[in-house]
Structure 1
Amino acid sequence: MSKSILITGCSTGIGLYCAKTLHNSGYKVIASVRNPKHLEQFTELNIPCVLLDLSDERSIQEGFEQALQLCDGQLDVLFNNGAYGQPGAVEDLPTNVLRQQFEVNFFGWHTLTRLAISHMRTIGQGRIVQNSSVLGLVALPYRGAYNASKFALEGLTDTLRMELADTDIQISLIEPGPILSEFRKNARQAFETHIDITASHHSAEYQAQLTRLKAQTAPQKFTLGPEAVYDKLLHAIEAPKAKPRYYVTFPTYLMGYLKRVLSSRWLDKLLLKNR
């Protein structure tokens, strides 16, 4: 019997790639998207897809119930992936904008995870995989909202893993680093919508951030394709004992190591130099 998996954030990037590849490998995939206009591509791919807006609790509940129906009442894996980045200096972030970041990247994931755990307890097993970030390990300037949401996710997931240690529900974090996707495009839109760029004390630095976000090619070294995340996801799904954490790109391995060996001041200096 093939395993069933619900994946959030499947419109583009990592979610879309993993949904298609797992489907082609024989998994019973249920994709989810926030925007109805993105449903059509999954009809063409013959992959079931539900509407699920991570900022709306009712949408999460309804999407999860539809996903259960589509997988005949047994969901084996949840891959929490849908998220976005809100750039901007902390002093320029309106509190409601920070709250929106957490609604999608943290609270929505929590709501969906609780639903999945309740179901997985009834079937006696399951896997929950959280797609975090290298920015859940270290912070970078002008990414405070995203940093905070991923730091919170890491702490909550570590706690959850320990609380479920005596069950057959396994919990894993994936920490990708730079991956080819539309993340920068969406971040740029959020940046220009919610941050008063020209009036800020950080306006000169913001221009550099906009240049980075507008780049047509990946501005970071060591950028990998979404297949690199898929490889880690597959292990988290199939291994008899999934790893608590999966680093993906070189920057993630490096930052994980440096955070252990450097003082906060030295790590700050390094990150400011290479931002």
Structure 2
Amino acid sequence: YWDVYEWAHSMGKMMIRVCLFFPMPTWPRVSDLIHERGRSLSGWIHLGGVKAFLDGSLGSSSAWFYEPYEDVPGDYGLQLLDMDVLLNATLESDKSGLQVAIHAIGDKANDMLLDMFDKVVSLNGTKDRRFRIEHAQHLSPGAATRFGEHGIIASVQPDHLLDDADSAGRKIGVERAERSSYLFRSLLAGGAHLAFGSDWPVSDIYPLQAIRTAMSRKLPGWEAPWISAERLPLDDSLKAHTISAAYACFLDHVLGSLVEGKYADFVVLPSTSWREFADDIPGHVLATYVNGKQAYP
């Protein structure tokens, strides 16, 4: 979509801000582009870094686990990249100043990334790199704390919970699912930077729905939450979808909070207090402002 964004920007039609990540094998070209044009091509288009995929998904039985799937005996999921190849590409991308984001869903995939990141820090040194693990859906015991050791971004999508809560028990067993799945509160307690997103078009793009899901962890029709200990309060859910999401893209200096000097991007909600909002999160906003100008309705 790079050409589409550049066309929209050149025509003055951009109404959303984008932070672009490119396939990891293209890192030399991305690095050259950033050195040539800077990280922000404008207030609308930002160059983030590079992304790779280490495993698949739970629904397709391709997320990479230590233990086999309950419904597919002997199947542990898929490792999509050789770890030595991934380490070398990550080291080079990191040396060039690129932010690295890697998809990991299964508990083994997440642990392998955490181990690899320890090597990157030991070889390239400590710096503000904001390494991102995309999804981080199923974690082994102790993994949530390891995210905090180097301030790793846990880039998670609460609405995926709506897809997995009903099937995870069948896929990996009830005990494993309840021990390891969508550990939002544990990640925060361990010092991770928790950033919310949608993974659209795979799931709903609407932020208020994701905030509601993170707080309730209930599927439609369910009376009890799924893994209630991992529910988040409103404040943490809002931060994850605003300032923490901006931090995860190195954009917290211009986005994510209403502060003098930042872009005036905000919504007007049909609530008179945060308590009212938390008790009944609305399904709509009254108005949306982008760059200080009303964009909706």
The TM-score range, normalised by the shorter chain, is 0.3 to 0.5
Larger Rg: 2
What's the TM-score once normalised by structure 2's chain length?
0.33
Normalising by the residue count of structure 1, what TM-score does the alignment of the two structures yield? 0.35
| Relative contact order higher in (CA < 8 Å, ≥ 6 apart) | 1
More helix by share: 1
